[in-house]
């Protein structure tokens, strides 16, 4: 069974890049371009891993993360958060809100694949 990954990211080139490298590894990918539609998608179709950007239209990644962690049905969902390089405060905020893993842009393809596979593995 393929690992199901939901990517919530508003930059088309990043969505394309992440989709490509993860599909190559056999993952099933769905994408949303903003926080509101990302949350709506999660409520109807739960992925194995969520890749979540910090800077999103409508609802930013931190607000999405906070809502997921306070929802009993989604609280355990593994979340890999993406942020621009050097934003130490973003990393701290994400960790306080309960992010599973964190990666900075630009990211290495191998690092993304490794983290997604680790997060998807049943603990």
* Residue 71 forms part of a structural domain: yes
Which DSSP string corresponds to 52-108? EESS-SSS-HHHHHHHHHT-TTTTT--EEEEEETT-HHHHHHHHHHT-SEEEEES--
Let me know: does 116 contact 27? Beta carbons within 8 Å.
yes
Q: What is the pLDDT of residue 84?
A: 79
Model pLDDT for residues 54-86, shown as the tens digit of each residue? 999 999 999 999 999 999 999 999 999 998 766
Count up the domains in the chain and report the number.
1
b or e along 65-85 (b: 16 or more beta carbons within 10 Å of the residue's beta carbon)?
bbbbeeeeebeebbbbbbbee
* Residue 80 forms part of a structural domain: yes
Q: Give dist(CA 87, CA 118) in Å, integer.
A: 24
Q: What is the pLDDT of residue 83?
A: 85
CATH of the domain at 87: 3.40.50.2300
* Residue 15 forms part of a structural domain: yes
* Residue 123 forms part of a structural domain: no
């Amino acid at each position: 069974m393929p690992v199901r990954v939901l990517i919530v990211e508003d930059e088309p080139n990043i969505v394309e890049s992440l989709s490509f490298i993860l599909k190559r590894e056999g993952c099933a990918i769905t994408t949303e371009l903003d926080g509101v539609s990302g949350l709506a998608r999660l409520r109807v179709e739960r992925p194995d891993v969520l890749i979540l950007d910090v800077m999103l239209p409508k609802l930013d990644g931190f607000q999405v993360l906070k809502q997921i962690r306070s929802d009993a049905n989604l609280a355990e969902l593994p979340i890999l958060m993406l942020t621009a390089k050097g934003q130490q405060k973003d990393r701290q905020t994400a960790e306080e809100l309960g992010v599973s893993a964190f990666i900075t842009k630009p990211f290495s393809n191998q690092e993304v694949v490794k983290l997604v596979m680790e997060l998807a593995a049943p603990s």
